[in-house]
């Protein structure tokens, strides 16, 4: 575990704190032809070796640096727009390489995979993973279907209103449900009240009523958001309580 944490610390420092933006831009433009890619890899190797402190065994740091460079090359080759999907995939690949390196250092690779498999294939773990996934996109679709009549009514009231960021409501809802899901699992119900209080700070700009958007639209939009929020919270709490049955 110590080796894993040390290598993870090295990765976070080098990838997010000690990598200038100019390096990232140059890597995106030139991929494996960028000199900064190799500077970055050398820094990964050096910091990993330094933090591990295994002076007679540089191979783990060297191997990790090599894999880190390959992952970065693949990301810069296929991810031209800096998408979230590729960012998650890139960091997941780095995390897996760090875990495997730490297990190899401790000569514990087979046992590590067996432990992970044992942890994964338990009712509690599978229920938590399934519950978290259900709380995200499936509930978003459900709430979207249930609130569709009110959304259409708002569109009729103000067809030209453009007062929402694209997909912002969906991401806000998923974030809230995931938080509530975790809060219920750890029995921190007071935190849910804090989240509801924070959500109550949401206000629509009253100045919009003086323009082309009517006060009726503002009022009904607030009710629409409230209904959607309560539906979303109810679903998240229900899913979390169902998951707790497997504890």
User: Three-state SS across the chain?
Assistant: CHHHHHHHHHHHHHHHHCCCHHHHHHHHHHHHHCHHHHHHHHHHHHHHHHHHCCCCCCHHHHHHHHHHHHHHHHHHHHCCCCCHHHHHHHHHHHHHHHHHHHHHHCCCHHHHHHHHHHHHCCHHHHHHHHHHHHHCHHHHHHHHHHCHHHHHHHHHHCCCCCCCCCCHHHHHHHHHHHHHHHHHHCCCHHHHHHHHHHHCCCCCCHHHHHCCCCHHHHHHHHHHHHHHHHHHHHHHHHHHHHHHCCC
Domain boundary (120, 146, 179) is at 120
Q: Is residue 105 located within the same domain as residue 154?
A: no
Mean pLDDT for the stretch of residues 208-237: 77
Domain boundary (85, 120, 155) is at 120
* Residue 150 binned pLDDT confidence (cut-offs 50, 70, 90): confident
Q: Which of 44, 68, 247, 228 is nearest to 141 (CA)?
A: 228
Q: Is residue 132 located within the same domain as residue 82?
A: no
| pLDDT higher than threshold 60 for residue 238 | yes
Q: Give how many domains the chain has, as a whole number.
A: 2
Q: How far is CA 195 from CA 25, 36, 176, in A?
A: 38, 43, 8
Q: Is residue 96 located within the same domain as residue 116?
A: yes
Regarding predicted confidence, which is higher, 187 or 199? 187
Q: Give the per-residue pLDDT at 31.
A: 85
Spatial contact of 68 and 43, defined as CB atoms under 8 Å apart: no
Q: Give the per-residue pLDDT at 62.
A: 94
Q: Is residue 102 located within the same domain as residue 142?
A: no
**CA angle 174–204–183, rounded 5-degree value:** 30
Q: How far is CA 101 from CA 15, 109, 118, 208, 247, in A?
A: 17, 9, 20, 57, 32
Q: Is residue 140 located within the same domain as residue 198?
A: yes
Q: Which of 157, 19, 194, 153 is nearest to 94 (CA)?
A: 19
Q: Identify the weakest region by mean pLDDT among 109-118, 196-205, 217-226.
A: 196-205
Mean pLDDT for the stretch of residues 9-13: 95
Q: Is residue 143 located within the same domain as residue 222?
A: yes
Q: How far is CA 77 from CA 29, 82, 94, 223, in A?
A: 9, 11, 16, 47
Q: Give the per-residue pLDDT at 115.
A: 78
How many other C-beta atoms lie within 10 A of the C-beta of residue 153?
A: 12
Q: Is residue 43 located within the same domain as residue 115?
A: yes
Long-range contacts (CB closer than 8 Å, 24 or more residues apart) made by 193-201: 196/233, 199/229
Range of the domain at 9: 2-120
Q: Identify the weakest region by mean pLDDT among 29-43, 112-126, 232-246.
A: 112-126
Domain boundary (75, 90, 120) is at 120
Q: Is residue 69 located within the same domain as residue 158?
A: no
Number of C-alpha atoms within 13 angstroms, CB side, residue 199? 23
Per-residue pLDDT tens digits for 23-71: 988 988 888 889 999 999 999 999 999 999 888 889 999 999 999 999 9
CA 81 to the chain's CA centroid: 18
Q: Give the per-residue pLDDT at 127.
A: 93
Q: Is residue 115 located within the same domain as residue 170?
A: no
Q: Give the per-residue pLDDT at 208.
A: 45
Q: Is residue 156 located within the same domain as residue 167?
A: yes
Q: Is residue 166 located within the same domain as residue 112?
A: no
Q: Give the per-residue pLDDT at 153.
A: 80
Q: Is residue 103 located within the same domain as residue 185?
A: no
């Amino acid at each position: 575990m110590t080796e894993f944490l040390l290598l993870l610390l090295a990765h976070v420092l080098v990838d997010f704190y000690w990598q200038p933006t100019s390096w990232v831009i140059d890597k995106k433009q030139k991929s494996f032809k960028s000199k900064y890619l190799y500077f970055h890899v050398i820094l990964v190797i050096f910091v990993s070796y330094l933090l591990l402190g295994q002076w007679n065994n540089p191979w783990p740091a060297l191997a990790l640096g090599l894999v880190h460079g390959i992952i970065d090359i693949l990301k810069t080759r296929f991810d031209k727009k800096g998408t979230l999907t590729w960012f998650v995939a890139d960091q997941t690949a780095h995390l897996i390489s760090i875990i495997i390196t730490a297990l190899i250092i401790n000569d514990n690779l087979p046992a590590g995979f067996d432990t992970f498999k044992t942890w994964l294939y338990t009712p509690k773990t599978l229920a938590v993973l399934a519950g978290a996934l259900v709380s995200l996109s499936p509930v978003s679709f459900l709430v979207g279907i249930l609130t569709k009549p009110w959304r259409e009514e708002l569109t009729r009231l103000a067809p030209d209103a453009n007062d929402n960021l694209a997909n912002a409501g969906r991401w806000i809802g998923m974030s809230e449900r995931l938080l509530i899901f975790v809060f219920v699992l750890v029995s921190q119900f007071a935190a849910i009240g804090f989240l509801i209080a924070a959500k109550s700070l949401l206000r629509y700009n009253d100045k919009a009523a003086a323009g082309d958007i009517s006060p009726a639209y503002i009022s009904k939009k607030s009710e629409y958001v409230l209904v959607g929020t309560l539906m979303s919270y109810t679903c998240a709490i229900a899913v979390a309580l169902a998951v707790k049955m497997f504890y």
